[in-house]
Structure 1
Amino acid sequence: MMRKLISLAAVAGAVIGAVAVTGAGSASASSTTFLRLPGGPTLEIPRAWRVHRSADQVHVVTGACAKPTGHYFEPGCRGFWVMGAKTLKTGGEGFRRYNPVNGPFYPAVDVAPCPANPKLGHVLGKAIAVGYRNIGQGHKAHYRVWPGRCVTYDDATEKSTFTQREWYLPKERLLIVDQWATPGLATVLKNATWAS
């Protein structure tokens, strides 16, 4: 079976809504395709996942999503994000530089909408899992799981919960953020390949 590579083009300031799959020969019946991250790993992802890029961000939509080219805090959009160095400069709470030791990825100064319900705000607590996870062979990412609560804006009554998982590669300055417990994502990252 012939492997195909995703060829992604980023246009300055514009979001590309389609991904071109390139390769020699006839089309493969494979249920997966490849997503190459700039300066980082290549991920083998399900073909059903849709990839959108803007600046140094990649949004991989894995399920229902009304606005796949929306911003990071776009509610009701199942998937995960890959953030690059430029985004990480203002990726901490209060638009500080992102550092997993100081807190989660949260580029805001106010309460952002809950991932599943825009009528609720979300609050992230102290990390409940801290360690390292492999992203491909020989590349360890800082790994954190942050508990999230979806609360009412008027009196902060908790209505639901979620977790925010983060894999951070400091050398490559890449961060993967998942608020949807994306099935199979941990395995996709563990099986990533790197250029020699």
Structure 2
Amino acid sequence: MILTVALSASLVLTGSPAQAATKPVTFQGFTLRVPLTWHTKKEGVNLRVITGACSPAAAECRSFLLGGPRAVRYASEGSAYQADRPYHPSSGVSECVPKKKYFSGQATRVRTSKAAFGAGQRARFTEWKVSCDGGRLNVASYTQRVWYVKAKKVIVVDHWKTPGLGAILGKAVWG
């Protein structure tokens, strides 16, 4: 019994079972290893990776978007992705992600840096704080995180601060 508990504790601390409990998600020439509980949904030419619950109050399920050349071409109000602007492909007003009864408003850049996106690839990582309003200030807000790999015309957009996503993208396999 003690040996079993010690072995279980050892596996939990080393992370071995969690590493084994993944599946591949392939998109635009790269593969990510994601938890088995996550699933994918095609959205036109993009792929949404659903990571958690879908609340009827939210504009989207807990997820992140994998986009290719078309998503990059129409990433900023119908124009090409611009690193100094949040990802906003429509030319209209968009719903506030956590509370869809409000609209997304002002976005403030929190930080920009370079991030690994698999072996040999670097992404421009930008984090935005997006406020939502319904006639009142600061009703709600959310964080938009964007990884953009210019050389591959790939963009990843996360509105839920998905835990571990940066590390998952850092281990992407291109091929």
TM exceeding 0.5: yes
Which of 25, 41, 54 pairs up with 2:43?
54
Aligned: 1:115 with 2:97? yes
Give unpaired runs (5+ residues) of structure 1.
1-29, 68-73
Deviation at 1:53, TM superposition (A): 1.6
Q: Which residue of 1 aligns with 2:107?
A: 125
Larger Rg: 2
Which of 99, 118, 124 pairs up with 1:142?
124
Aligned: 1:75 with 2:55? no
Q: Which residue of 1 aligns with 2:26?
A: 36
Aligned: 1:165 with 2:145? yes
Structure (1 or 2) with the greater helix fraction: 2
Deviation at 1:77, TM superposition (A): 1.0
Q: Distance in 2 between matches of 1:62 and 1:43?
A: 14
Q: Distance in 2 between matches of 1:54 and 1:107?
A: 13
Following TM superposition, where does structure 1 have runs of at least 4 consecutive aligned residues deviating by more than 2 angstroms?
108-111
Q: Distance in 2 between matches of 1:113 and 1:178?
A: 15
Deviations 1:36-76 (A, max 9, x none): 1122x210100100111233201000011269xxxxxx704
Identity in percent: 27
Q: Which residue of 1 aligns with 2:80?
A: 97
Superposition RMSD in Å: 1.8
Give unpaired runs (5+ residues) of structure 2.
1-19
Distance 1:124 1:33, change over 3 A: farther
Deviation at 1:184, TM superposition (A): 1.2
Deviations 1:1-58 (A, max 9, x none): xxxxxxxxxxxxxxxxxxxxxxxxxxxxx4110111122x210100100111233201
| Counterpart residue identity of residue 173, structure 2 | T
